[in-house]
Chains A and B, each alone.
Chain A
Amino acid sequence: MTTTTASRDNTTDNERPMIELKGLNKWYGDFHVLRDINLSVRKGERIVICGPSGSGKSTMIRCINHLEEHQEGDIVVNGMPLTQDIKQIEAIRRNVGMVFQHFNLFPHLTVLENCCLAPIWVQKRPRKEAEAEAMQYLERVRIADQAHKFPGQLSGGQQQRVAIARSLCLSPEVMLFDEPTSALDPEMIKEVLDVMVELANEGMTMLCVTHEMGFAKTVADRVIFMDQGQIIEENAPEPFFNNPQSERTQLFLSQILGH
């Protein structure tokens, strides 16, 4: 499906990690935001990233599709190394879907047009075909009946589901979620999480920054705890929650689970 001119190495899909971060370092001016991040994500793996505010979670996942530029280290996505070359960056972005905290839907386009924009303009697919496929994805996030409304006419939960469908329309290999539910009212969180759980069950490779610990427990293969730009602890959910090793992880968990 993905037609990329980008260079790839020759290892087969199964042994090659989907995302690989090696020795990643990033600074904002003099401020060292990401400190020596190493992370390898297999195909189909579901990772939940948590940590206190300002610890660099967003910055890390935004480096993966080059919304932020890193200064040191290597990023490889689906075999394609992230370089300065804009063609290579755009090839990677087509493989990586991203869902934002504030949805970032395009307010001047209808729900369906939001979804079809990239397939038509990036993948150069015929409008009819793109629309038909977009409708399928809207069906999957259970919002097909709103396809001709504008984003401003939908609730927050509905908008976030549209945003997920919009990313899926490019058939990405990886989905990045940056606190997808933290701008939502409690009663809407569930409808978005349900969609994410379904997506996880279908085998999508996912990196989610979220504080929804219930989601982490049921869905994640691995939970990562970050603090001050570093990965402090990384473990399967069961040991991570029941038996955290680092003191900082214990403190963080007691704070968010305590009340």
Chain B
Amino acid sequence: MSIEKTPSRVTEKMIDARSAPSDSIGTIAWLRTNLFAGPINTLFTLFACYLIYLLIVPSLQWALIDANWSGTTRADCTGEGACWVFISARLDQFIYGFYPEELTWRVDIVFAIFAALVAWLAIPNMPVKGLVAIATLAVFPFIAFFLLHGGSFGLEVVGTHEWGGLMLTLVLAVVGIVAALPMGILLAMGRRSDMPIVKSICVVFIEFWRGVPLITVLFMASVMLPLFVPGEVNLDKLVRALIGITLFQSAYMAEVVRGGLQAIPNGQTEAGVALGLGYWRNMGLIVLPQALKLMIPGIVNTFIALFKDTSLVLIIGLFDLLAIVQAGLADPKWLGYSIEGYAFVALIFWVFCFSMSRYSQYLERLLHTGHKKR
């Protein structure tokens, strides 16, 4: 059989685009390829559905359908489902701790201002963001302190031993986050510095704080710190916990930031330096903006860990959200409702942490466009 010389050819009729065969797109096709691709696949799908059914239905039954929602005492609970009365009856305490009831409006105002500021900064394309950011960092802490603590402008003093619940958790987390990030950035820059003394100090600091458990840090802050500080300076227990948490988390933050700084090519710094920019401008204008973008997942990861770690303060006698719910569970009037209590705490923590996680993903996508090739 001889191979013919390939004949030349010219196509004159252009083919119109047709839609894809109906069995390759749409829900049915998706189900077939992903869930029922073969006998084993189908078996697994059915088994998984059964497991989900076993798990979800009783949970929903317990948490929603059979649950008791209204009332004031345990007598209002039938005992078939969850007794959310326990939560609603004690909600004020869970949110405000032992803050005097008639003064909780001060906490509400702080919550409201904070929520407004965060929303302003988080929503893209809001005007005067720079100004709002400065206000959030430089003015808001003072307003919050004066409102929460009182003691000036005729406001009654509410000592930090009366703070507690969600409010205390948020104070610990927000102060920790806001203080740990800049400290972490400075530590990371110090660790990469050419100056041997600065570098060694930063390395020792980071490695020390990363090497001890947070519980130890908190114990040291509450028991040992007063031994070192001169007698007349009586540091508040909350302040000591805050210092401990901040130092601890800034060491973790420093390593996240260092990873980001290392990812920026040397040529960027060289170009900045060649243009006559000094060290700080080079960092602030060229290296950090690029590095922070890369570090978003790591930074938010540290924030989330910090948020959850705040619950450890219960071991030094501060009543954060978890501790105050636990205290409520020990109340003889409400014995036996620990599942409701822990579920409530878990839900609150989850809502905050999940929001942070989602926002970071959104931020990453937002910052990626434009800089990358298409």
Quick one: CB contact mask for A129-150 with B, threshold 8 Å, 1 for yes? 0000000000000000000001
Question: In the complex, how many residues of chain B place their beta carbon closer than 8 angstroms to a beta carbon of chain A?
Answer: 23
Interface majority SS on B: helix, strand, loop or mixed? helix
Contact B275 A93 (CB under 8 A): yes
Contact of A67 among B274, B277, B285, B372 (CB under 8 A): B274
Contact A104 B371 (CB under 8 A): no
Interface residues of A in 52-100 (CB under 8 A from B): 65, 67, 86, 90, 93-94, 96-98, 100
Most buried by A among B273, B275, B370: B275
Quick one: CB contact mask for A81-123 with B, threshold 8 Å, 1 for yes? 0000010001001101110101011111000000001100110
Known: A93-B274, A122-B276. A152 touches B371 (CB 8 A): yes
Contact B277 A118 (CB under 8 A): yes
Contact of B293 among A100, A108, A153 (CB under 8 A): A108
B281 nearest CB neighbor, chain A only: A121
Contact A102 B371 (CB under 8 A): no
Contact A153 B270 (CB under 8 A): no
Contact A93 B276 (CB under 8 A): yes
Query: A26 near B: Cβ within 8 Å?
Result: no
Query: A50 near B: Cβ within 8 Å?
Result: no
Contact A122 B277 (CB under 8 A): yes
In the bound complex, CA of A106 to CA of B264 (Å): 11
A151 nearest CB neighbor, chain B only: B371
Query: A166 near B: Cβ within 8 Å?
Result: yes
Q: Which residues of A contact B281 (CB under 8 A)?
A: 121-122
Q: Which residues of A contact B213 (CB under 8 A)?
A: none
In the bound complex, CA of A108 to CA of B268 (Å): 11
Query: B21 near A: Cβ within 8 Å?
Result: no
Query: A34 near B: Cβ within 8 Å?
Result: no
B284 nearest CB neighbor, chain A only: A121
Contact B274 A98 (CB under 8 A): yes
Interface magnitude class on chain A = 20 to 34
Q: Which residues of A contact B372 (CB under 8 A)?
A: 152
Contact of A150 among B273, B276, B289, B370 (CB under 8 A): B370
In the bound complex, CA of A117 to CA of B285 (Å): 9
Most buried by A among B271, B281, B370: B271
CB distance from B47 to the nearest CB of A (A): 48
Query: A170 near B: Cβ within 8 Å?
Result: yes
Contact B268 A67 (CB under 8 A): no
In the bound complex, CA of A225 to CA of B115 (Å): 66
Q: Which residues of B contact A108 (CB under 8 A)?
A: 289-290, 293, 371
Contact A121 B277 (CB under 8 A): yes
Q: Which residues of B contact A97 (CB under 8 A)?
A: 274
Interface residues of B in 147-206 (CB under 8 A from A): none
Q: Which residues of A contact B276 (CB under 8 A)?
A: 90, 93-94, 118, 122, 170
Contact A117 B373 (CB under 8 A): no
Query: B286 near A: Cβ within 8 Å?
Result: yes
Contact B373 A153 (CB under 8 A): yes
A118 nearest CB neighbor, chain B only: B275
Q: Which residues of B contact A98 (CB under 8 A)?
A: 271, 274
Contact B270 A104 (CB under 8 A): yes
- The 9 sampled A-B contact pairs (Cβ below 8 Å) are A67-B274, A93-B274, A96-B274, A98-B274, A105-B271, A106-B272, A150-B371, A166-B275, A167-B275
Q: Given A98-B271, A122-B275, 9 more contacts at CB 8 Å?
A: A93-B273, A107-B371, A122-B276, A122-B277, A122-B281, A150-B370, A152-B372, A152-B373, A153-B373
Residues in chain A within 8 A of chain B (CB atoms): 65, 67, 86, 90, 93-94, 96-98, 100, 102, 104-108, 117-118, 121-122, 150, 152-153, 166-167, 170
In order of increasing CB-CB distance, the 5 nearest A-B pairs are A104-B271, A118-B275, A104-B267, A98-B274, A93-B276
